[in-house]
Amino acid sequence: MFDVTSRFPQLPNAPGVGYKPQHFQNIMGDPGHVTWLEVHAENYMGAGGRPLAQLRLLAERFPVSVHGVGLSIGGEGPLDADHLTRLKHLVDWLNPTVFSEHLAWSSHESAFLNDLLPLPYTNDTLSRVADHIDQLQDTVGRQMMLENPSSYLAFAESTWSEPDFLREVAKRTGCGLLLDVNNVFVSATNLNYDPRSYINDYPLELVGEIHLGGHDEDTDDHGAPLLIDSHGKPVVDPVWALLDHTLSLSGPRPILIEWDNDVPEWPELDAEAERASKALEQVAA
């Protein structure tokens, strides 16, 4: 087991963005307020070509966080051996500063789903997730961070709160945690709880990266608010306020701006990074 008390490699306590190829020239020319980058692992598991060549150049100049979205950490079946092999190859040659995955499941037998689906927080789920994380960390040879999900329903059979579940997973495996503040806001709105109370209960001392992103607003069949974690819009003011509350408790942390759909031109993305930078400056002061 990895020793959770010996902190994993650190990204700078500064803004980063999710890298998109259309921004390559902007980043190489003038990255503005952006000091590190995140890439989705599954986009770089191929054999070569321009995407890998660009990533190699970026990695020479910026710390890189690799974020997995398809390993199905919470799935009932074993982790996919081919996926693990390709992931290890990527991590070996890229040598990212950190690696992370989601607390979710996204596969069943040979079928891979285009969603990150929720889990019941039970002892059985805890054991399965911990076993999968142990296997993943042993395979890639480094500590990972586990991200809290955005939720649209809760399971009646859950016996753990989400913060306590994540704390126990980290205790058993030595993994770190990735706190997605927008996911907290989305889940709290959808499931009708206080997002600040969630943050107050969260093991912030284990957080090595914070995510921010945009969401879509909708209503459910009963007319209640329903938020969708879309990553296709600017971060809204209530999420920025929740970030301020988080940083007041945790101190400065690396902050990532996620924008995966309807990706804007670089100046708009850099403006979001600038706002994250100001939030960090405020808590440091």
* Structural domain spans, the chain: 15-284
CA dist 180 → 35, 159, 177, 231 (Å): 19, 22, 10, 12
d(CA 127, CA 257): 32
Single pTM value for the model: 0.92
Confidence of residue 10 (pLDDT cuts 50, 70, 90): confident
d(CA 216, CA 205): 30
**Residue 254: its H or E element:** none
Please say if the pLDDT value at position 189 is more than 80. yes
Give 109's contacts (C-beta < 8 A, 6+ positions apart).
Answer: 77
Mean pLDDT of 46-72: 92
Please say if the pLDDT value at position 175 is more than 60. yes
How many alpha carbons lie under 13 Å from residue 206 in its C-beta half-sphere? 28
Which of the listed CATH numbers 3.40.50.10420, 3.20.20.150, 1.25.40.10, 3.10.105.10 matches domain 15-284?
3.20.20.150
d(CA 285, CA 282): 5
Given this model, what pLDDT does residue 4 score?
Answer: 47
Given this model, what pLDDT does residue 105 score?
Answer: 52
Mean pLDDT of 193-220: 93
Given this model, what pLDDT does residue 28 score?
Answer: 97
d(CA 9, CA 28): 24
d(CA 214, CA 174): 30
Comparing 99 with 2, the larger pLDDT belongs to 99
